[in-house]
Structure 1
Amino acid sequence: MQTKRLSSHDIAAASEILHRGGLLGIPTETVYGLGANGLNSEAVSHIFQAKGRPQDNPLILHVPCADWLERYCTDIPDTAYLLANRFWPGPLTMILRRKPVVPDAVTAGLDTVGMRCPAHPVCRAIIAAADVPVAAPSGNTSGRPSPTNAADMLEDMDGKIDGIVDGGPCSVGVESTIIDLTEQPPRLLRPGGITLEQLRDVLGEVAVDPAVTRLMGKDEHPRAPGMKYRHYAPKAPVTVVKGAPAAAAEYIRAHLAPGDGVICFDEYAPLFAGYPLEQLGPSTDVPEQARRVFEALRWFDGTEATHIWAQCPDTTGIGLAVANRLNKAAGFHIIDIE
């Protein structure tokens, strides 16, 4: 299969790929997604084949506006519209009860479905032109770091999908926040660009699922993407060092071995001269760390590094999402020096 390279102006060509049951790389503000017509079970099954994705890992339906919720969801609580008014378009996915029109292939057989309205205008224009919800996980081979630009997605998907729309680099850099509104209190299933603090400002009490901070067991069934499996991982094993930035950097420096690589905050890069190194940004700029974290992890696959040490931000704000991605890349191999 030859993968067509499309620009942000090729809305009609992109929507035609979705209409005929093809696979399309789409830009969003979070990461690039691998999209298919979310009402076409066969097309959705090809997403799993292209990614090598486990069948019990549910997908998210992307829609152009909140008005589409009633097409695919039932028993929609008022809180869904409160959140949509505050955060849509944006990096927030809501878990709601699904209608029968949503295929089991999308939901992994669950009676719920994740719904999101992305902020990227090109993505929303493609969905509106296709007039179907787009089922889309991140556009990487399953388990690898998610792509935050078209080139990274092509590295994994060239020749496996029908086309990719280049919408530029992603502005957020980590996948959407996922909140389950079918439970009381609402439950955070995956941290992302909308922070736990922002959700609590709207909803009051919000529970945090244990899978945010640990691996799920083999018999546990994920209610949202990215909960169960080791994810976002480069080829080399990762160790995350948690603690005050200066102390964490010194710990890594003291434990470096030949062949090791380092992901660190900008201020501490001089400590690791001579080692394969990727910088996350300043220790005080967590949004920049979110934009860089997947590129940093991906970069090491082009090196000879046999082990990667990574500094970790604290878990306030979007730092919770960055820490979650690094911890999952490490299979929750974390050293807490405090």
Structure 2
Amino acid sequence: MNFETICVSPEDELNFSAAVRALQEGEVVGMPTETVYGLGANALDPEAVKKIYEAKGRPSDNPLIVHVASFEMIDPLVSEITPVAKILMEAFMPGPITIIMKKSHLIPDIVSAGLDTVGIRFPIHPIAQKLIDMCGLPIAAPSANLSGSPSPTKAEHVMKDMHGRIPYVVDGGECQVGLESTVVDATGDWPVVLRPGAITIEDMEQVLEASGMSNPKKVVSSEDSSSGQSQDGSTSAILEGAAAGADPLNTPISQNFSVAEDETPRAPGMKYRHYAPSCPVKIIGDKTGDDFDNYYVYYKQEIMEALLAENTPIGLFVGEEIAENLKILFANKNEEIIYYIYGDSEDVEAASHHLFDGLRTLDEIHVKMIIAPAFPEKGLGIAYMNRLFKAASESDAPVAQKSTRKIMFVCSGNTCRSPMAEAICRSIFRSTGPHHMIDHPETEANLEVTSAGTFAEKGVEFTKYTVDLAGYEYEEDLSGRTSQVVTDELISDQDLVLCMTADHSRYLRFKYPDMGDRIFSLQEIIDHFTIPNLSGEVTDPYGFEYLVYMDTAKQLDTIIREILPEILKSWGME
């Protein structure tokens, strides 16, 4: 590899044609797409593909994505197009999505990393389409950066990384999306997202639902699904009925963004260090957006620590409003604080579009550390946080903790035990405060507590004894409060779900598998923190006298006083 790399304008017909010929002759060419720039070679030529790995310094067990310029080019490359794949192709191609399908004999093992599948992408970028169409070949193309560094979103990024390694870089301007394509495995009856991107899970669920598709692996008993409860009323019976049922239930598309060390990844970005600049990256804030108001304080704290430690210049990937205030506060520190302003502070689309350019720009200035904000992990925020966490993964810099956390207590009907637990937990947190963030002592730590029932009838008032006990013993006013059932929206908003019994926790983990790591019974959370000599059993007082309610409250009080400090500590609070 010893080329005098030429950056080609699309209007330069002579050199553009030369870049096409280079691809046809087995060379590697930098090419624009709407997501990031790619490093393209003939996907059907193992020797040409080998040059991609050599140019990137990329492990050969990381599969490559094959780019096409028409739907007609796809058929010879795959052995099967499943109904799910067909729906996704029709809805999102051309566009920023890669669909994994069973490969045909034409795809060399070096492209698929020895797997029996291949990722197919039909970019919408007109210059990418023109290059592939003129070449007349499917193009295998990973991102056009040295492996492990931030992906390139401008031709100048590619020139910096690949100068002398490849003969041509076609300049298509700045990439419109700025993050790599969504990668979805569509080889089965239901898709699995392997890498998040601009095409979100919600986008795919919408088109699949509109096409009448549902997840065949998640079923409920047709007899039980109408009421949500079995004849004997137990959650164990419901789980057994669900396992034996026959009616499909629409459930969220699943995600799998990583693989084991000895496993071959099915998509790029799942295994090795990716997207990381040479300096440490530190993430501030939380993944829910609850504490955006504190982001200015977080940035200020990081700047002050860097100045005191003489660890400057420090780079800020930051929103415009916060940057303006910081520039006023640190007006005499212009050489020690470098700002990359991505747009409005709460605009995840702008942050995603500029993330890789921001990381590269700040890194090239040789800042000692980059500070970047977290965004809620929903929609495009999932892709943004996926790339940002990978950028920070090789750094010793800690991730700043969120300052507000949410706990939900769950029983069956949400009229006795769970409302009592809610009141007791809130009272204990209040009486043992004020609380603050361990890494940011100036930031107050907050806890929001609620309750719900697995089979609650909506709108039933909490029992009189529950309301009286909460008011008299814990100074918590539950008067006028009514029951609510656990819903998708309610549970997805929680950081921790604590259930009265193991039956409740098993049922919720079955119903909400993506929330499984946040759902515990009281006994399970006690065991999780290895708290000795403490039982998680709580008496159900429904239908009994006030003294039984008192006993239940004492049981809950004892449990919550023991587990709450451990929970707070795990969240970086004290």
TM above 0.5, yes or no, is yes
Instruction: State the structure with more CA Rg.
Output: 2
Q: Which position in structure 1 is the counterpart of 2:135?
A: 130
Q: Which position in structure 1 is the counterpart of 2:400?
A: 335
Q: Which position in structure 1 is the counterpart of 2:342?
A: 280
User: Does the aligned pair in 2 maintain the 1:245–1:311 contact within 8 Å?
Assistant: no
User: Does the aligned pair in 1 maintain the 2:184–2:191 contact within 8 Å?
Assistant: yes
297, 302, 307: which one pairs with 1:250?
297
Deviation at 1:14?
Answer: 2.3
Deviation at 1:216?
Answer: 4.1
Deviation at 1:279?
Answer: 1.7
User: SS at 1:178's partner residue?
Assistant: strand
> 1:189-208, aligned counterparts within 5 Å?
189-204=194-209, 205-208=251-254
> Percent sequence identity over matched residues?
41
Which residue type is aligned with residue 135 of structure 1?
A: A
Deviation at 1:50?
Answer: 0.5
Task: Give the whole-Å Cα distance in 2 for the aligned partners of 1:284 and 1:250.
Answer: 15
Task: Give the whole-Å Cα distance in 2 for the aligned partners of 1:298 and 1:252.
Answer: 20
Deviation at 1:284?
Answer: 3.5
Q: Which position in structure 1 is the counterpart of 2:529?
A: none
User: Greater strand share, 1 or 2?
Assistant: 1
**Which runs of 5 or more residues in structure 1 are unaligned?**
none
**Which runs of 5 or more residues in structure 2 are unaligned?**
210-250, 328-332, 405-574
Q: Which position in structure 1 is the counterpart of 2:6?
A: 4
User: SS at 1:296's partner residue?
Assistant: helix
User: Does the aligned pair in 1 maintain the 2:66–2:139 contact within 8 Å?
Assistant: yes
Deviation at 1:47?
Answer: 0.5
Q: Which position in structure 1 is the counterpart of 2:105?
A: 100
User: SS at 2:269's partner residue?
Assistant: coil
Q: Which position in structure 2 is the counterpart of 1:293?
A: 355
Task: Give the whole-Å Cα distance in 2 for the aligned partners of 1:309 and 1:184.
Answer: 41
Q: RMSD of aligned C-alpha atoms?
A: 1.7
Task: Give the whole-Å Cα distance in 2 for the aligned partners of 1:187 and 1:335.
Answer: 30
More moved, 226-235 vs 256-265: 256-265
Deviation at 1:296?
Answer: 0.5
Task: Give the whole-Å Cα distance in 2 for the aligned partners of 1:262 and 1:217.
Answer: 33
What is the aligned length?
Answer: 335
227, 238, 251: which one pairs with 2:270?
227
Which residue type is aligned with residue 335 of structure 1?
A: A
User: SS at 1:287's partner residue?
Assistant: helix
Q: Which position in structure 2 is the counterpart of 1:269?
A: 323
Task: Give the whole-Å Cα distance in 1 for the aligned partners of 2:105 and 2:96.
Answer: 26
Task: Give the whole-Å Cα distance in 1 for the aligned partners of 2:340 and 2:254.
Answer: 30
User: SS at 1:235's partner residue?
Assistant: coil
User: Does the aligned pair in 2 maintain the 1:19–1:130 contact within 8 Å?
Assistant: yes
User: Does the aligned pair in 2 maintain the 1:253–1:271 contact within 8 Å?
Assistant: no
Task: Give the whole-Å Cα distance in 2 for the aligned partners of 1:300 and 1:119.
Answer: 30
User: Greater helix share, 1 or 2?
Assistant: 2
User: SS at 1:193's partner residue?
Assistant: coil
Task: Give the whole-Å Cα distance in 2 for the aligned partners of 1:304 and 1:39.
Answer: 40
Deviation at 1:210?
Answer: 3.7
Q: 1:184 to 1:77 in 2, by over 3 A?
A: closer
User: SS at 1:74's partner residue?
Assistant: coil
Q: Residues 237-265 of structure 1: CA distance to partner in whole angstroms, max 9, x if unpaired?
A: 11112323222331232233132322122
Q: Residues 37-67 of structure 1: CA distance to partner in whole angstroms, max 9, x if unpaired?
A: 0001011011011111111111000001222
User: SS at 1:95's partner residue?
Assistant: strand
User: SS at 1:336's partner residue?
Assistant: coil
264, 278, 303: which one pairs with 2:365?
303
User: Does the aligned pair in 2 maintain the 1:199–1:206 contact within 8 Å?
Assistant: no
Deviation at 1:74?
Answer: 1.2
Task: Give the whole-Å Cα distance in 2 for the aligned partners of 1:72 and 1:287.
Answer: 33
Q: Which runs of 4+ in 1 moved over 4 A?
A: none
